[in-house]
């Protein structure tokens, strides 16, 4: 998401950096391009207009016009204003010893999955979440929530068979959710519709009044563009939501909803869904997203993901094997799995500063899966001793992995080249140590 907008903004900044001095006409021309880029990205018209006005006012200040590097100064202004547009600082959820979170939104926005993802995140933070099924209109929603709860080992409270009263279902589930001595967070997954109607709003109003939740979080699909903004406005007017969960931020939509949501509703974006897996859900940090849109990367999130995904002892073991050039396909597989736990490789590369400007950044996930399949089709001995892979063994591996013998040979050749480079690096290191001793 945001790739098209990011590309256009980078072109504008490149043009501005090319000028030795910045004038009012330079800025006007640049902001016209930015305004068009925002509108093409589905940013709300009024939001784009106000954003451009704020950037324009700050860009024409004397500190910028007389600066030695006016291009960089304007990039900083854009970063600051984009961060402010997205909410400024992260907005934490309001949770006490025992809390209630009401999840609302339209069908298809990702309410049920987001409820489970939020429970998974809170569990990792040391809390005791309980999922409560309150969607009595879509039978599959109850089954889906139960399945997701089982995957993350979180209790799920479901209504009695044939229950039609949502308040009674919520009350019974809440009573059963109390765990002695635990800081329970009750997460209520509610019903949605294809479109907002009065019956839905009235049901949610009465349920909110009955539950008196600490948080009412609206789930919005970031890929739905301008419609998402109007949906958020109507839900907020009716229910006074306390925060927003943006889903599908990993998609290829234009992303204007994410940039418009905070300004239109005046409510913070608290969480973002960044993938289909239950652990691909994170606290929304405006400054980091602004940096990614402007091509500055997001090293902090990258480090956090690495810290969660990488086992320190395993990483140290792999590092020793790399140094001694004894790296084999078992180690390759372990490293591959660690990397995959961090999420799609394309997303990871996009967090590195400047990588968003690199042409052809896309990573072929199918090719990565084929590579993994080839290694998994080897026996343990073959992974340990790749030298024994003769023609017959390679044919068997190709059949087992659904690849061609040529693909197997390509992987083995690249792996052999990598090991030779490691040996060369090890020899160079030993040579340098010997030279240092001779010079003492």
Q: What domains appear along the chain, each with residue ranges and CATH number?
A: 3-85 (1.20.120.140), 99-296 (3.40.50.300), 308-438 (1.10.260.30)
Among candidate residues 45, 64, 63, the one with its CA nearest the CA of residue 53: 45
Which two three-digit tokens encode residue 92? 């934490």
Decide which of 2 and 149 is more confident: 149
The pLDDT of residue 232 is above 50:
yes
With 0-12 / 13-18 / 19 or more C-beta atoms within 10 angstroms meaning exposed / middle / buried, residue 307 is exposed
* Cα 141 from Cα 94, distance rounded (Å): 26
The pLDDT of residue 8 is above 70:
yes
CB 294 within 8 A of CB 267: no
Among candidate residues 40, 440, 66, 91, the one with its CA nearest the CA of residue 243: 91
**To the nearest whole percent, how much of the chain has pLDDT over 90?**
22
- Chain centroid, CA 411 distance in Å: 30
pLDDT at 207: 92
Among candidate residues 251, 252, 250, 272, the one with its CA nearest the CA of residue 261: 272
Judged by DSSP in three states, 268 sits in: coil
Which two three-digit tokens encode residue 202? 């009235």
Task: Tell me the average pLDDT across 294-320.
Answer: 57
Task: Tell me the average pLDDT across 12-36.
Answer: 77
Lowest-confidence region among 177-191, 206-220, 380-394: 177-191
Which two three-digit tokens encode residue 342? 């961090």
pLDDT at 120: 94
pLDDT at 300: 46
Residue whose entry in the numeric block shows the structure tokens 């995957």: 151
pLDDT digits (tens, 9 = 90+) for 328-365: 888 777 777 766 666 665 555 555 554 444 444 455 66
**Which residues lie below 8 Å from residue 277, measured CB to CB, with a gap of 6+?**
343
The pLDDT of residue 39 is above 80:
yes
């Amino acid at each position: 998401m945001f790739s098209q907008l990011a590309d256009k903004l980078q072109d504008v900044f490149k043009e501005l950096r090319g000028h030795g001095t910045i004038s009012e006409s330079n800025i006007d021309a640049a902001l016209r391009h930015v305004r068009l880029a925002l509108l093409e990205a589905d940013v709300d018209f009024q939001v784009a207009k106000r954003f451009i006005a704020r950037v324009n006012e700050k860009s024409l200040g004397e500190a910028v016009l007389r600066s030695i590097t006016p291009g960089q100064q304007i990039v900083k202004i854009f970063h600051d204003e984009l961060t402010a547009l997205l909410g400024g600082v992260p907005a934490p959820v309001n949770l006490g010893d025992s809390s209630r979170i009401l999840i609302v939104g339209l069908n298809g926005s990702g309410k049920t999955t987001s409820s489970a993802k939020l429970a998974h995140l809170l569990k990792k933070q040391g809390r005791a979440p309980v999922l409560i099924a309150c969607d009595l209109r879509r039978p599959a929603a109850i089954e889906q929530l139960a399945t997701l709860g089982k995957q993350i080992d979180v209790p799920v409270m479901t209504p009695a068979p044939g229950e039609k009263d949502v308040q009674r279902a919520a009350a019974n589930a809440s009573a059963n959710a109390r765990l002695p001595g635990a800081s329970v967070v009750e997460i209520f997954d509610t019903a949605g519709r294809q479109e907002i109607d009065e019956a839905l709003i009235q049901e949610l109003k009465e349920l909110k009044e009955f539950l008196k939740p600490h948080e009412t979080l609206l789930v919005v699909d970031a890929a739905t563009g301008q419609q998402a903004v109007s949906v958020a406005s109507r839900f907020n007017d009716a229910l006074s939501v306390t925060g927003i969960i943006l889903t599908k931020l990993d998609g290829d939509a234009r992303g204007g909803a994410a940039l418009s949501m905070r300004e239109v509703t005046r409510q913070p974006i608290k969480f973002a869904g960044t993938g289909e897996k239950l652990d691909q859900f994170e606290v929304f940090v405006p400054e980091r997203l602004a940096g990614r849109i402007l091509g500055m990367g997001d090293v902090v999130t990258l480090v956090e993901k690495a810290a969660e995904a990488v086992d320190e002892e395993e990483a140290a073991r792999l590092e020793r094997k790399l140094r001694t050039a004894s790296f084999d396909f078992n180690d390759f597989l372990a490293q591959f799995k660690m990397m995959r736990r961090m999420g799609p490789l394309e997303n990871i590369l996009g967090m590195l500063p400047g990588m968003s400007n690199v042409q052809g950044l896309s990573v072929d996930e199918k090719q990565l899966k084929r590579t993994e399949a080839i290694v998994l089709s080897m026996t343990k001995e073959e992974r340990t001793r790749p030298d024994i892979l003769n023609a017959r063994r390679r044919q068997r591996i190709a059949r087992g992995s659904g690849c061609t013998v040529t693909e197997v040979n390509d992987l083995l050749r690249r792996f052999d080249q990598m090991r030779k480079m490691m040996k060369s690096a090890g020899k160079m290191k030993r040579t340098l140590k010997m030279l240092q001793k001779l010079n003492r």
